[in-house]
Amino acid sequence: MRRSPRRPLILKRRKLPFQLSESATVDVVPSKQPHGGGSTTTTTPQPPAPPSDGSSPKPCAVSLCFPDGVHIVPHPTKTDTRVVLIPPTADLQSVIGALTAKGKEHGPNGPNKFILLSGSGGQPCSEVNKDLDCCPLDDSLTNIHWLSGMSSDGNKPDTKSVKSEVKKEDIDINISDNNDDDNTSEQDSQGDGDAEADGQAKSSQSDRPPYSYMAMIQFAINSNTSRRMTLKEIYTWIEDHFPFFHQQTKQGWKNSIRHNLSIHDMFKRQTSPDGKTSYWTIRPEANRCLTLDQVYKLSASTVGTTIYQASPALCSAFTPQVQLLPGRQPARVTPGARKRVRSAPKVAKIDAPAAVLHPIATEMKEEPVCLPLNPQRDPHRGGEGGGGGGGGSSRRKQRLVLPSHEEPILLPPDSPFFDSGVASDASALRDMPQGSPSSPKLSFETPVKGGSSSDHLASSTPSRPLGSEPWKVTPLGKGTQRAMLDFSPIHTPGGPLHTPQHQHYHHTHLHHDYSTFNFGDPAFSELPLFSSPRELLLSSTAAGSAANCSLEGLMLDTINDSLSKVLVDISFSALEDEDMGTANISWSELIHHFI
Amino acid sequence: MRRSPRRPLILKRRKLPFQLSESATVDVVPSKQPHGGGSTTTTTPQPPAPPSDGSSPKPCAVSLCFPDGVHIVPHPTKTDTRVVLIPPTADLQSVIGALTAKGKEHGPNGPNKFILLSGSGGQPCSEVNKDLDCCPLDDSLTNIHWLSGMSSDGNKPDTKSVKSEVKKEDIDINISDNNDDDNTSEQDSQGDGDAEADGQAKSSQSDRPPYSYMAMIQFAINSNTSRRMTLKEIYTWIEDHFPFFHQQTKQGWKNSIRHNLSIHDMFKRQTSPDGKTSYWTIRPEANRCLTLDQVYKLSASTVGTTIYQASPALCSAFTPQVQLLPGRQPARVTPGARKRVRSAPKVAKIDAPAAVLHPIATEMKEEPVCLPLNPQRDPHRGGEGGGGGGGGSSRRKQRLVLPSHEEPILLPPDSPFFDSGVASDASALRDMPQGSPSSPKLSFETPVKGGSSSDHLASSTPSRPLGSEPWKVTPLGKGTQRAMLDFSPIHTPGGPLHTPQHQHYHHTHLHHDYSTFNFGDPAFSELPLFSSPRELLLSSTAAGSAANCSLEGLMLDTINDSLSKVLVDISFSALEDEDMGTANISWSELIHHFI
DNA sequence: GCGATGTTTATAAACATAAGT
DNA sequence: AAACTTATGTTTATAAACATC
Ligand SMILES: [Mg+2]
Ligand SMILES: [Mg+2]
């Protein structure tokens, strides 16, 4: 037992540079799309994305507007980059082949980088679930709704015994009962507790699930309609869904669960009004509403692309009437700030061309981590605006601030981040910095960690994309549990092109507290480890159709011959202001601005 | 090696409730004050507090104004609490004895809680070191001062080759060279590297130092004039000062050092302009400027009370000219908000009656962790201002938010926090939440943890208060290294009674970035583990005199017969606004408002 | 490929505290 | 009501897997 089982290695992403170099489109475009194997278990009936039936040999079309309906638009700031909008029905492989040829035909001087987006597939999802976002429950003190049946293992969430007076406006109470498709599934799974052992037996051959503790806790909490769980409930949920932990004689994993709850700022503890029970919740701003269903189902269907619900947590209504004055957005720095690319530690994220980023003046004077745009790093440092600015991009990654004068820019994939092939990151499973909007008020309370947390990614991608995982998920699902996936309200503060710069620097008031919400945070898909470029392509194809409101895309670099999955990220450095948070705009909407 | 050495247990505080219960003042006031044993090693010459020569049998004086010059003022909000201002010349024991008797004479209805403060001793320290705060160096890009001699192990910080232009106002440059007593010591220690082995031999009998990695890293970085160090330098510094690590064959401790640097948000990495070297720094707002000298010297002098420099890091000058508009302080919530008690995880902190706290509306709707004021918790919840508010105080501690309507209150020690006896906490060694002022701008950059961090205390109190520590600190100090202690600028945003509520919710701009600075954070003294109540008393006495600008005090509870050391904390929930940060007010000044 | 430096996750454990017995 | 036990939380220490330079 001492010999730690090691964290699941399968969680680790692997670098698989797109092998396209020597021979132009060699090996890249297999003639057929083995899309078959997928959908072994519960499938997603609804997605309006008809998967292209593959085998569409049309790789030679190099026109600017591909016959498939593909649109190529220039990048706002990068002359060598093109944004390629691909309809869900298009054949991704042929498009890539065409782009590769196109890129190479112009040589290093012409466009050689292509950001492939497929935003037209999904429904706008803007007003889809205005009320059924995360946090369906009202937490007002008076609302003791949750007192009803929570003390035990969460077996009786249906008995709304108390039903106290609702003090807030329309903060539901009905919302709490809002058993939509998505929530219903988990609701049930939780309801029966252990009785769920139905069809698929929880055989003893359960390996350790490929999820980190952080991910599993998120699965558990998000599975509950009220989005909160007691420690005991979390234990039970995990045991029920991952037999591996049921078999564990030692309780070390429970220690780890508690440890993770504590250290990750993403998990917050709430105390019931009576002070009797503690509920663990997920910081709404950080909650991607990831559920096991999503990951499991997606992995089962060979789809490596999951949309981790971008829901920025509309729970703001719960907050008292603090009503702080929203930071004035005007008079601020970095006037022309537009977009900016971001490269996550292990994640590849880029800003969508449409999105405007408000770079916000740096807080310190550290390195402007805006990755070097070109291989030849330009030390345009001397004339910096503020004298601060710090050095160029440092070694790995850490604490990046934009010199106030620097504009955000779309970063091409030439940086090491993008040539790293698949970015099977789990941003959705990460605990985003978030600026700790709560700390200000709590500042005087030592107990609160507040500040910044060291929460980090926990890849949730199952090892193998398809079928029969060795770690054995205990199903107990209905079958209609995918609504959650479709509801991905993306809060886009301002208009597509450029939002007015807000300077809200981590406001504290919670009223609609979308503090530090990043457009890009929400939707980064988990990519199962691809054993070959083909797999990457396949998963990408699937992603284009299934992922509505997705921010993910592919970065095709014809110079380096690399194809990387990237998170097309629209980042608003300071979204804390409530005024911003409410604006929802779908990814596809944004894309339409460019077509 | 696998069998982890365990973290130094001596770091742990112990509960030593003041044994005063059964027999009124029995056993509490020993006839003599064995103050002798102390001050075995280097003593603090300056403290204007002549220790009472003990054996002062005056426990019966129950008058409101003690002959010693003690003033007793009512608490602004708590009727059962009195604030006792004790001059440095007063005999603490007799005062405590008198207060105990007084408290018991009135029974449970009368005042039974006393907050003992000794604020008159120290110099105002308001303008003492306006310029010699933390971060003597300018970090502006143009300032390549640190490029001079940093690449190596930091052996040549004395050769200020570059001495670039000082961009800021008067931010010194002399400060960097400011070889006061404090900095000098470390400066030298670093200069000679290994040659420091002078008088006290680094015998092989070095036990593990009682400091956490986080503390040692702080020691190391703060010892450098430039307040930054490379990883290698940190290694070297620790090895040089703690022979224990020099003897280590395994390099596991280096792994831990790196681990700590990464996980603790307090530590930030900066990259030099040339991108060649990375320097580790301490977030200025979080830096208490703690040095080994302070801890070591203090422990040697039996003084359990250390003032961990409250310096909120005036380094803000380094920041570019971001110049964000400071949050408007007006129109905000919680009008009558005043003070509030806080109980840290393991730390006991209370707000000073004079301080005003701007509770700031909660961000979420969680538990108003304002600890229950009385044993009988009053669920005055129904008519709350905002309807939110959350439940009562939960179990341990975590994430507390004030319902916007609730006023901050001075928490009496009846809560479990105060009856826990000695609070030998090390808030100075903690990484405060801080709201991550930097995250906003970095929000779009995954690399930055930003948000809140799980940095936490690392008690720095040496196991034994006096002399010859087994862990063997390699001296290499001068002898006159205590300047740092005396400079404890306390930033008190507003006037004593109530500062205008600021709503700055974690501003990001760094210009004078005092974000989330808590009045109370800075000065929490480390209490060496007291083996008896007497020791607590002794240390407290010493503290009263030596600690100017100290915020510490004693909480005497005549009901529970407990005497606890507490941090009298003035907390401003949102001090991020620059306008606030510059206002310095000494603790004694605050106290004078009540006399 | 190797070594230094960084980042994250997993485990074990020491304590603290609330809740039960 | 005191004492012991258990559950729950918090924090630090270590080891390790990877990533990047
Ligand atoms: Mg947590
Ligand atoms: Mg760090």
Phi then psi dihedrals of residue B100, to 5 deg: -60, -45
The tokens for B377 are 């918790």
* pLDDT given for residue A233 in this prediction: 97
Report ipTM (2 d.p.): 0.50
Buried b (16+ CB within 10 A) or exposed e, A233-250: bbbbbbbbbbbbbbebee
User: Nearest CA to CA, how far is B540 from chain A (Å)?
Assistant: 22
Torsion of CA A423, A427, A428, A432, to 10 degrees: 180
Q: Do B320 and A345 touch (CB under 8 A)?
A: no
A490: pLDDT strictly greater than 80: no
A266: pLDDT strictly greater than 80: yes
Nearest protein residue to the C1' atom of C7, measured from CA: B262
* pLDDT given for residue A300 in this prediction: 65
Burial-class residue A123 by CB neighbours within 10 Å (0-12, 13-18, 19+).
Answer: middle
Chain B residues in contact with A135 by the CB 8 A cut-off are none
- Residues found in chain B: 595
User: Nearest CA to CA, how far is A246 from chain B (Å)?
Assistant: 28
The Cα B156–Cα B151 span in angstroms is 10
Top mean-pLDDT range of A93-102, B282-291, B401-410: B282-291
pLDDT confidence tier of residue A278, bands split at 50, 70 and 90: very high
The pLDDT tens digits for A122-132 are 333 333 233 33
A252: pLDDT strictly greater than 70: yes
CA distance from start to end of chain B: 58
One-letter amino acid for residue B27 of the chain? D
Please report, rounded to whole angstroms, the spatial distance between the CA atom of protein residue A15 and the C1' atom of nucleotide C5.
20
Please write down the HEC assignment for all residues of A207-264.
CCCCCCHHHHHHHHHHHCCCCEECHHHHHHHHHHHCHHHHHCCCCHHHHHHHHHHHHC
* pLDDT given for residue A99 in this prediction: 72
The pLDDT tens digits for B257-304 are 999 999 999 999 999 888 889 999 999 988 888 888 877 666 665 443
Top mean-pLDDT range of B106-120, B260-274, B324-338, B559-573: B260-274
**Residue from A452, A517, A551 whose CB has the most chain B CBs within 10 Å, to mutate:** A452
Phi then psi dihedrals of residue A223, to 5 deg: -75, -20
**Residue from B274, B356, B441 whose CB has the most chain A CBs within 10 Å, to mutate:** B441
B510: pLDDT strictly greater than 80: no
* pLDDT given for residue B464 in this prediction: 33
Across the strands, what pairs with B463? Answer: none
A136: pLDDT strictly greater than 60: no
Q: What is the mean pLDDT of chain A?
A: 47
B225: pLDDT strictly greater than 70: yes
One-letter amino acid for residue B575 of the chain? L
The Cα A478–Cα B179 span in angstroms is 71
More confident residue, A69 or A368: A69
Burial-class residue A259 by CB neighbours within 10 Å (0-12, 13-18, 19+).
Answer: exposed
Phi-psi domain of B390 (left: phi exceeds 0; alpha: psi -120 through 50; beta: other): left
* pLDDT given for residue B469 in this prediction: 62
Nucleotide nearest to B1 (CA to C1'): D14
The pLDDT tens digits for B52-99 are 333 333 333 333 445 556 666 655 455 566 666 666 666 666 666 666
Chain A residues in contact with B426 by the CB 8 A cut-off are none
> Average pLDDT of B429-455?
39
Distance of CA A549 to the CA centre of its chain: 11
- What residues are neighbours of ligand 1 (ion), with CB under 5 Å? A 267
A358 with A379: CB under 8 angstroms? no
B218: pLDDT strictly greater than 60: yes
B240: pLDDT strictly greater than 70: yes
Exposure on the CB side of residue B178, measured as CA atoms within 13 A: 21
pLDDT confidence tier of residue B206, bands split at 50, 70 and 90: confident
> What is the SS3 assignment for A298?
helix
Please write down the HEC assignment for all residues of A437-453.
CCHHHHCCCCCCCCCEC
Angle between helices A252-263 and A213-223 (to 10 degrees): 80
One-letter amino acid for residue B242 of the chain? F
**Beta strand A562-569 pairing with B81-85:** unpaired
Per-residue flag: B130 CB under 7 A of strand C:
no
* pLDDT given for residue A98 in this prediction: 72
pLDDT confidence tier of residue A270, bands split at 50, 70 and 90: very high
Please report, rounded to whole angstroms, the spatial distance between the CA atom of protein residue B71 and the C1' atom of nucleotide D16.
59
The Cα A356–Cα A368 span in angstroms is 18
pLDDT confidence tier of residue A253, bands split at 50, 70 and 90: very high
Chain A residues in contact with B520 by the CB 8 A cut-off are 444, 446
The pLDDT tens digits for A176-193 are 333 333 333 333 334 333
Which residue carries 């600021």 as its tokens? B502
- Number of Cβ within a 10 Å radius of residue B37: 12
DSSP-derived letter for residue A568 is E
Q: Nearest-CA neighbor of A523 among A419, A418, A427?
A: A427
Which residue carries 């996936």 as its tokens? A485
The tokens for A220 are 């558990």
The Cα B84–Cα A241 span in angstroms is 58
Q: Nearest-CA neighbor of B168 among A365, A391, A404?
A: A365
* pLDDT given for residue B288 in this prediction: 82
Buried b (16+ CB within 10 A) or exposed e, B282-309: bbbbbbbbbbbbbbbbbbbbbbbbbbbb
One-letter amino acid for residue B5 of the chain? P
More confident residue, B280 or B343: B280
Most distant CA atoms of chain B, gap in Å: 71
The tokens for B15 are 């509960």
- What residues are neighbours of ligand 2 (ion), with CB under 5 Å? B 267
The pLDDT tens digits for A520-546 are 333 333 333 333 333 343 333 333 332
* pLDDT given for residue A268 in this prediction: 94
Chain B residues in contact with A393 by the CB 8 A cut-off are 271, 275
CA distance from start to end of chain A: 58
**Percent of chain A scoring above 90 in pLDDT:** 11
Residue partners of B223: CB distance under 8 A and separation at least 6: B183, B185, B186, B187, B189, B190, B237, B291, B292
The pLDDT tens digits for B431-443 are 654 443 333 333 3
Helical spans, DSSP H, in B335-482 = 439-442
The Cα B324–Cα B506 span in angstroms is 12
Q: What is the DSSP string of A415-479?
A: STTTTT------GGGS---TT-TTHHHHTT-TT---SB----------SSSBS--TT-------S
User: Nearest CA to CA, how far is B453 from chain A (Å)?
Assistant: 3
Per-residue flag: B9 CB under 7 A of strand D:
no
The tokens for B203 are 């015998």
The pLDDT tens digits for A476-485 are 544 333 323 2
Burial-class residue B495 by CB neighbours within 10 Å (0-12, 13-18, 19+).
Answer: middle
More confident residue, A409 or B398: B398
The pLDDT tens digits for A30-81 are 333 334 333 333 333 333 333 333 333 333 333 345 655 666 766 655 666 6
The tokens for B52 are 């009472």
B102 alpha carbon – ligand 1 mean position (Å):
43
The Cα A217–Cα A268 span in angstroms is 12
Q: Do A365 and B520 touch (CB under 8 A)?
A: no
* pLDDT given for residue B333 in this prediction: 26
B162 with B145: CB under 8 angstroms? yes
The Cα A587–Cα A595 span in angstroms is 13
* pLDDT given for residue A288 in this prediction: 82
**Residue from A272, A283, A287, A444 whose CB has the most chain B CBs within 10 Å, to mutate:** A444
pLDDT confidence tier of residue A290, bands split at 50, 70 and 90: confident
User: Nearest CA to CA, how far is A442 from chain B (Å)?
Assistant: 6
B589 with B124: CB under 8 angstroms? yes
Q: Among A319, A332, A517, whose Cβ lies nearest the Cβ of B388? A: A319
Which bases of strand D have any atom within 7 Å of the beta carbon of a protein residue?
Answer: 7-21
More confident residue, B107 or A437: B107
Chain A residues in contact with B351 by the CB 8 A cut-off are 444
Instruction: List the helix and strand counts (H, then E) for chain B.
Output: 13, 10
pLDDT confidence tier of residue A88, bands split at 50, 70 and 90: low
Q: Do B391 and A275 touch (CB under 8 A)?
A: yes
The tokens for A94 are 């042929």
* Of A50-64, A200-214, B413-427, B551-565, the least confident: B413-427
Per-residue flag: B7 CB under 7 A of strand C:
yes
Per-residue flag: A263 CB under 7 A of strand D:
yes
A418 with A562: CB under 8 angstroms? yes
Nucleotide nearest to A230 (CA to C1'): D8
Q: Do B363 and A319 touch (CB under 8 A)?
A: yes
A215: pLDDT strictly greater than 70: yes
Top mean-pLDDT range of A389-393, A399-403, A534-538, B273-277: B273-277
> Average pLDDT of A377-399?
39
Q: CA-based angle B492:B341:A504, to the nearest 5?
A: 55
The Cα A375–Cα B273 span in angstroms is 17
A499 with B350: CB under 8 angstroms? no
Residue partners of A63: CB distance under 8 A and separation at least 6: none
Top mean-pLDDT range of B10-14, B40-44, B243-247: B243-247
Per-residue flag: A258 CB under 7 A of strand D:
yes
A443 with B514: CB under 8 angstroms? no
* pLDDT given for residue A206 in this prediction: 76
> Average pLDDT of A201-207?
58
B511 with B140: CB under 8 angstroms? no
A234: pLDDT strictly greater than 90: yes
Q: What is the mean pLDDT of chain B?
A: 46
Chain A residues in contact with B451 by the CB 8 A cut-off are 265, 286, 431-436, 451-453, 455, 516
Q: What is the DSSP string of A518-530?
A: -STTT-----PPP
A572: pLDDT strictly greater than 90: no
